[in-house]
Amino acid sequence: MIYITQLIYLQAGQEAVFEAFEEMALPLIPRYGGTLCLRIRPDKAAWIAGAMEQPYEIHLVSFPDQDSIDAFMQDDGRKQFLHLKEQSIRMAWLIQGRKI
């Protein structure tokens, strides 16, 4: 099992565009054996000031293997709305690991 943690930082004022992207992208994850394990929006009180910029949203997703991740990333339906992702996301940290 491969786990991906994503810290997502949005362009100012693009929350609705990002949410439209998520409405289309997140339902595709199970099609490729993946699971959205965690989806949170951290509040300022919980974030450690100065450690790093607070993300808009944090995702933890699991997939059975790299081939499943690659298939999800190449999904033709997902590609049709990548422009929403590109418009709304300013930066993202993608951290990939395995359970040990």
DSSP state of 62: E
8 vs 45, residue with greater confidence: 8
Identify the CATH number of the domain defined by range 2-98.
Answer: 3.30.70.100
Q: Which of 51, 56, 58, 66 is nearest to 96 (CA)?
A: 66
In 1-100 the beta strands, taken as DSSP E runs, fall at 2-10, 35-40, 57-63, 89-98
pLDDT at 43: 84
> pLDDT for 4-27, tens place per residue?
999 999 999 999 999 999 999 999
**Residue extents of the structural domains in the chain:** 2-98
Per residue in 55-98, pLDDT tens? 999 999 999 999 999 999 999 999 999 999 999 999 999 999 99
